[in-house]
Structure 1
């Protein structure tokens, strides 16, 4: 495995494991750290970002009905170094951004943080916010 396990690793229930894997690997540049094919599960990483995806099944830890879009009320913020390259890659794959690449400013206790960001949805509807801290 490239990186040790991080303290927080989201596990996303997805409608179709192969479609989601193709999206995360082919469009977003993740790699497979390991898989459990019989369980329709994959552990993915991109740099220091880690996540797990598992195809929805009856024995899952589902607390309610799973309908598109999944992950309502949450977005996953993923810090990347190559945001411009990644954004171009996303567009080249025909993915329509939920929010186009822009610079946003956020107030923190230490002042204002400026970051480039864009948002997309994965095939199951999860909202992914890619960010990179930028200079003002």
Structure 2
């Protein structure tokens, strides 16, 4: 059997489903793929995605630490920046940088301290 790997799926800890939806769905434009609760009043575990990027968001204690970072390689960082900037999200106004190692990079921080760095490779 040949060893192969699928893309990693970061798990981010969340503390408010409403704030997570506002940030990931309304601001970043992700969609909910599925949600799971063991019972109606138990913590939520959900998967969100946009294109090939898949994230797991968890209210479960111990699943992840707030303040984690995921790096997402993509094309069109400046266009994505323009798209989300037009939404005028009240809690974050990210910028775009051009560090030596990449064409463009934008970092967003969710309401729970988790960061996603969107980076575009130099040609």
- TM beyond 0.5: yes
Q: For 1:62 and 1:43, locate their aligned partners in 2 and report how far apart those are by CA, in whole Å.
A: 14
Q: Which of the pair is proportionally richer in strand? A: 1
TM-score with structure 1 length normalisation? 0.69
TM-score with structure 2 length normalisation? 0.75
5+ residue gaps, structure 1 = 1-5, 107-113
What SS is found at the alignment partner of 1:76? strand
5+ residue gaps, structure 2 = 1-5
How far the C-alpha of 1:43 sits from its partner, in A, is 0.5
User: What is the correspondence of 1:1-136 to structure 2 with a 5 Å cutoff?
Assistant: 6-37=6-37, 38=40, 39-56=43-60, 60-61=61-62, 70-71=66-67, 74-92=68-86, 93-94=88-89, 95-97=92-94, 100-106=95-101, 114-135=102-123
Give every structure 1 segment of 4 or more consecutive aligned residues whose post-TM-superposition deviation is greater than 3 Å. Answer: none
Please list the CA deviations of residues 28-60 of structure 1 after superposition, one character each: whole Å capped at 9, or x if unmatched. Answer: 11111111154412101111111100124xxx3
